[in-house]
Structure 1
């Protein structure tokens, strides 16, 4: 609780955490009911829903790098407010749109704003929290998931009513949450890149060493993420490491409705279990997986947990009655949540750690890294509905096996890149850093602000 009251970044960070809480409360309303809304109100079939979410998700792929590029040129706060207001408008339009053709551009614009907002929130944490970004990220996920849990609980009541008006009320609640979040973001100051002279000097030495080694390895050129083959490989492999999102929000609800005898009211329980456990365990898991090498090890645990979740989902369709099926599905929700916890401490930490430290380059790199979640949101739903679910229980087994195998490849690739970042003359790097610090200190000895920045 003390960390929530005094997070890295101070007052502005507290306000941002409040904005995340409101945003995700509304998102919890929608996440727990969107698939069922499209099924029972918009009258779309499962494969059509997967296609809708998948095609719309392509817009989300654009959102992350676009936000990263704009954040290097425009105020971060204004961009984030714009994303909130965009989603306010698009979700309002969902209330009056019917049919696949009308819903597609609206949902696509929503995905664009959603992915751009998440990238901007990541940049805010990187700028405001500095080296304490892991702590801030854990706090932000705790606040976000607390809001999602509350939203899911409210959604459960709406699903119990089960009327069209109840579903529409959930969408309206989500839209209003974006308005409230925008009002809070308006109250924060524009976060600045890290920046005393001493910090820049030290970062410059380390970054130079990283760049020299990366260029020798052929992985980067002129700090351009699109030419950095090593970083692009990380982003590519990170796509399947985000499939827990589509499994929880799309695969499990549709699998329950179409292939099991479990009650439909169980769908919000998936999200409630997910969010409550993340709130309770996020900080502890983050503390145990702090640092890039520990984050790389967490990737392996992600693959193992998602494999176990897929096995549970496959067995849920084997019959055994509503009671047994309910228990198995709840176990799958627990496993996919544990996988998400692993992903939350690995994907973001590695995205930052594997990127150059120059402030100007980091925004572009993180924008590209955000594409992994965007591509997953585009490819994940149609993959699950048209391939995995169409293949029946065997589809889940194959999916879990593939993700587990790719998690091993991802860990190996990340450790190789981290090793390449370490200068060959290990003893020379600390000496060079010390020289840079001494030089910078002499130049700013009278600058008390620079000294405070170094202490932070």
Structure 2
């Protein structure tokens, strides 16, 4: 699966570079207002959430490699088409196309990672993908900072086109990835079984809220905190984000090594939630302290936060892989990412309200959210395991074998 990992790295590099300059491109080159950008991105986010599970089903039905390649090609074309956008309606439509294609890529790549390696290696494979995603995003962010120094329209356009090229490069790489054969829904069962699995949807909503919130703690909550309440320099934001990125790159695969089975994944998610809760309490302790003490506590909180993030994300993936039927990995991955999408809608206003409205007590409230949410992983995943969709034994693939077919000429 080195091909899939390399495609992940290339794609993450392009995304990181584009995200650095995206707002400036849209406002200066495309000439869009902030309100237009916000409306278009919100419409796209809603379209992506609605499309996640059905597109995951298509990845199962027609093979995730084929659908992943299709998604990459569509994304390359959609980002290139942004060069011709100068008004609200075309931007909103393209935002929806990008969001839907991204949803397809997430579901297809998840199914490809699940089906192309043995069940015992799925979690480590997913951890490697996330580690490389963080590394690629970090390197891409540095590359995208060049146009920010020049502040020229041409630089923003170059970054946009470079991002589109990385999608094409990823699609080309994926043509050499192993094929996971199309999966057939068992006779008599619903096609979109994930949408009927209330227990799994409850897990996806819970995990989506916690995951989106811990992502916003450092990217949104900490900057607001430093700007309004903490007596510490703003450059600590960069320090915290560097600690987070480096920790995810260096620790993700190592931390995934000891997690096997649903019980272990559940414990990892609980441990991660409690550790993230501790990081919130440490940040709260820095309220109205001296700059040195506040800065020390924020640095300590960033280290604690990344440990909790790695444990929590590892547990989440393990739970998804364990609960999804072998013939529905794509749509269950889609339902999981739909939960993330809903969390992305809730987390920003939640974190902002807590940090700006409640100050230090807001951080403690966020900590209680993680502690309480972590404790819910146990009953929710036990419920999901007890109501897991089943398939006749003669129709199910062996769990210890990867569902891979190798195209002729690629066996070596």
The normalised TM-score by structure 2 is 0.77
Are the structure 2 counterparts of residues 57 and 15 from structure 1 closer, same or farther at C-alpha, using a change threshold of 3 Å?
Answer: same
Q: What is the aligned counterpart of 2:112 among 102, 115, 124? A: 124
Secondary structure of residue in 2 paired with 1:129: coil
Q: Is the 8 A contact 1:19 1:185 kept in 2?
A: yes
Are the structure 2 counterparts of residues 399 and 168 from structure 1 closer, same or farther at C-alpha, using a change threshold of 3 Å?
Answer: farther
Aligned equivalent of 1:296: 266
Aligned equivalent of 2:3: 15
Q: What is the aligned counterpart of 2:363 among 396, 409, 415? A: 396
Matched, 1:347 2:316: yes
Matched, 1:227 2:196: yes
Aligned equivalent of 2:167: 178
Aligned equivalent of 2:69: 81
Matched, 1:372 2:339: yes
Q: What aligned pairs does 1:225-304 form with structure 2 within 5 A after superposition?
A: 225-243=194-212, 244-253=214-223, 269-304=239-274
Q: What aligned pairs does 1:83-98 form with structure 2 within 5 A after superposition?
A: 83-93=71-81
Q: Is the 8 A contact 1:32 1:268 kept in 2?
A: no
Matched, 1:356 2:334: no
Secondary structure of residue in 1 paired with 2:118: helix
Are the structure 2 counterparts of residues 115 and 364 from structure 1 closer, same or farther at C-alpha, using a change threshold of 3 Å?
Answer: closer
1:71 deviates by 1.2
Q: Is the 8 A contact 1:56 1:378 kept in 2?
A: no
Secondary structure of residue in 2 paired with 1:191: coil
Are the structure 2 counterparts of residues 396 and 112 from structure 1 closer, same or farther at C-alpha, using a change threshold of 3 Å?
Answer: farther
Aligned equivalent of 1:110: 98
Q: Is the 8 A contact 1:53 1:107 kept in 2?
A: yes
Q: What is the aligned counterpart of 1:137 among 126, 129, 134? A: 126
1:350 deviates by 0.7
Distance 1:157 1:308 in 2: 37
1:239 deviates by 1.8
Distance 2:277 2:95 in 1: 30
1:153 deviates by 3.4
1:277 deviates by 1.5
Which moves more between the two structures, 95-104 or 116-125?
Answer: 95-104
Are the structure 2 counterparts of residues 275 and 98 from structure 1 closer, same or farther at C-alpha, using a change threshold of 3 Å?
Answer: farther
1:375 deviates by 1.6
Distance 2:115 2:219 in 1: 31
Secondary structure of residue in 1 paired with 2:117: helix
Distance 2:39 2:356 in 1: 14
Distance 2:125 2:239 in 1: 27
1:392 deviates by 4.1
Secondary structure of residue in 2 paired with 1:289: coil
Q: Which runs of 5+ in 1 are unaligned?
A: 1-12, 196-203, 205-219, 424-432, 442-448, 450-456
Give CA-to-partner distance per residue, 1:354-397, whole Å, 9 cap, x none. 2334x2x3433332222112222233334434665455444333
Q: Which runs of 5+ in 2 are unaligned?
A: 399-404, 406-412
1:287 deviates by 1.1
Matched, 1:71 2:88: no
Give the length in aligned residue pairs: 392
Aligned equivalent of 1:406: 373
Distance 1:287 1:326 in 2: 33
Aligned equivalent of 1:217: none
Q: Is the 8 A contact 1:52 1:100 kept in 2?
A: yes
Q: Is the 8 A contact 2:48 2:103 kept in 1?
A: yes
Are the structure 2 counterparts of residues 395 and 286 from structure 1 closer, same or farther at C-alpha, using a change threshold of 3 Å?
Answer: same
Secondary structure of residue in 1 paired with 2:260: coil
Q: What is the aligned counterpart of 1:335 among 301, 304, 311? A: 304
Secondary structure of residue in 2 paired with 1:21: helix
Distance 2:294 2:307 in 1: 20
1:345 deviates by 1.2
Give CA-to-partner distance per residue, 1:208-237, whole Å, 9 cap, x none. xxxxxxxxxxxx989822222222222222
Aligned equivalent of 2:402: none
Are the structure 2 counterparts of residues 301 and 128 from structure 1 closer, same or farther at C-alpha, using a change threshold of 3 Å?
Answer: same
Larger Cα Rg: Structure 1 or Structure 2? 1
1:178 deviates by 1.8
Are the structure 2 counterparts of residues 76 and 28 from structure 1 closer, same or farther at C-alpha, using a change threshold of 3 Å?
Answer: same
Matched, 1:148 2:137: yes
